Amino acid sequence: MTNKKTLNVGMLGYGFMGRTHTNAYCQVNHFFKTQFNPVLKVCYGRGTDMAKLKDFQSTWGYESIETDWRKIVERDDIDIVNVVSPNFLHHDMVIAAAEAGKIIICEKPLAMNVKEAEAMAAAVKKANVPTMVSFNYRRVPAIALFKQIVDEGRVGRPFHYRATYNQDYTISKNVPSGGALWRLSAKVAGSGVTGDLVAHSVDTAEWINGPIERICAHTEIFIKERKNMETGQMEQITIDDACMFLAVFKNGSIGTFESTRYARGRKNYSSMEINGEHGACYFNLEDPEYLDFFRYADPETGKKIEDHLTGWQKILVTNSEHPYMKNYWVPGLTIGYEHTFINGLADFFKSIEDGTKFSANIEDGLRTQKVCDAILQSAKEKRWIEIN
């Protein structure tokens, strides 16, 4: 540890993502040889949550707590500002961090809308600071292998891409809005499943299959009023409970995307499939260590290799040849959700060490925001929208 450069971390938020990101800082040097030693310097939470904030501090070992996030950003001894707060705060936090010259890690969706995201990207460009937007599913080994197989030409010319991201936790009309369920309030979240879940599907789709050129969407609000747990009053729900859209990719393939929080039985069903001339891949996050691959033709010659033994191969993505896996256990032993954040942090640190461009960065976050805004606009105006 002694030769490593210290990077002091200011964590802006201490909820679900506060835990996953903090765990990544704690674990990254146990599994990857990085040149940095992250130090858990300070975590932020509102003054209203002092008991929870203190519990988070002691559980994870932060040196101090702070109830004014701007004071963290202004501190000279903070190197990384890590934004894991609800979406409406990302804009101000990222711009302040960029102006203070900090390394920035920000959760998705990058912002409430494109206007905010553009201002954030401009501030980062001006400050020229490294950024990571937390599209952590790129760091699931099986999804990284999915991309590798596509990049190797094993799928050939792609025809179809389809993605789902389905959950079921808001089906009851008794689920309140506000407070911990800020995702149901437009003023705090910006949008519903589109920013929360579809953003992940879009980022992964464009990473694997290239840019989406145009889309046509429909969104639905199934339960239009809920009791706000903070005010006790009924409030109108304006965020999208479900979203479906058709997509045309620049490479000529076509896609379907579906996301909802009303798919009874589905907890975190993020799936993706590509069907090409030479082969196909399928992945499902509820079965995360497996990648399904169908091989029809040799990628070099295009010659058909399908015979009576051909079928979908279920690849257990745990070998040392598979992305990230040599850093963990022995073949056959799996890793989990939390490792996607560790893998992402290791890649981000490596890019800072090497001076190379990290992806997904703020520009990638802005790009996804453009697609998400187009989806919401298309649903509202009931028409196809070109993504510029």
Ligand X SMILES: NC(=O)c1ccc[n+]([C@@H]2O[C@H](COP(=O)([O-])OP(=O)(O)OC[C@H]3O[C@@H](n4cnc5c(N)ncnc54)[C@H](O)[C@@H]3O)[C@@H](O)[C@H]2O)c1
Residues forming the site for ligand X (CB under 6 A): 13-18, 45-46, 49, 84-87, 89, 107-108, 134, 136, 180, 182, 196
DSSP string, 121-146: HHHHHHHT--EEE--GGGGSHHHHHH
Distance of CA 192 to the CA centre of its chain: 15
Cβ proximity to ligand X, 134 vs 204, nearer residue: 134
Checking DSSP bridges between strand 80-83 and strand 64-66, what pairing results, if any?
unpaired
Query: C-beta of 344: minimal distance to ligand X in Å?
Result: 9
Comparison of 95 and 385: residue with beta carbon closer to ligand X? 95
Complex with ligand X: residue 199 or 215, whichever CB lies closer: 199
Cβ pair 369, 117 in contact under 8 A? yes
Q: How far is the CB of 15 from ligand X (least distance, A)?
A: 2
Q: Which is nearer to ligand X, 346 or 385 (CB)?
A: 346
When the beta carbons of 279 and 288 are compared against ligand X, the nearer one is: 288
Q: Quick one: DSSP state of residue 270?
A: E
CB closer to ligand X, 49 vs 292: 49
Residue 107 or 206 with smaller CB distance to ligand X = 107
CB of 276 to ligand X, least distance (A): 28
In the complex, what is the shortest distance from the CB of residue 80 to ligand X, in angstroms, rounded to a whole number?
Answer: 16
- Residue in 8, 11, 376, 6 with CA at minimum distance from that of residue 195: 376
State how far the Cα of 217 lies from the Cα of 176, in Å rounded to an integer. Answer: 27
Query: By beta-carbon distance, which residue lies closest to ligand X?
Result: 15
CB 95 within 8 A of CB 67: no
Neighbours of 350 (CB within 10 A): 16
Crossing angle of the two packed helices 16-31 and 338-354, in degrees rounded to 10? 60
Least CB distance from residue 220 to ligand X, whole Å?
Answer: 20
In the structure encoding, which two tokens stand for residue 202, read together? 């879009």
Residue of 367, 365, 385, 366 whose CA lies nearest to 375: 385
Q: Determine the 3-state secondary structure of 372 from DSSP.
A: helix
The torsion angle over the Cα atoms of residues 201, 366, 104 and 342, rounded to 10 degrees, is 20
Please tell me the distance from the alpha carbon of residue 211 to that of residue 197, in angstroms, as a whole number: 18
Q: Please name the residue that has the structure tokens 């191969």.
A: 313
Cβ 198 to ligand X shortest distance, Å: 12
Shortest Cβ distance from residue 263 to ligand X (Å)? Answer: 18
Which is nearer to ligand X, 121 or 385 (by Cβ)?
121
**Minimum distance between the CB of residue 196 and ligand X, rounded to whole angstroms?**
6
DSSP letters, 37-95, are EEEEEEEE--GGGHHHHHHHHHHHT-SEEES-HHHHHH-TT--EEEE-S-GGGHHHHHH
Closer residue to ligand X (CB): 155 or 289: 289
CB of 238 to ligand X, least distance (A): 17
Output 155 or 163, the one with its CB closest to ligand X.
163
E-strand ranges in the chain read 5-12, 36-44, 64-66, 80-83, 103-106, 131-133, 158-166, 212-220, 225-227, 234-236, 242-249, 254-260, 269-276, 279-284, 290-295, 313-316, 385-386
Q: How far apart are CA 123 and CA 184, in angstroms?
A: 29
Cβ 310 to ligand X shortest distance, Å: 35
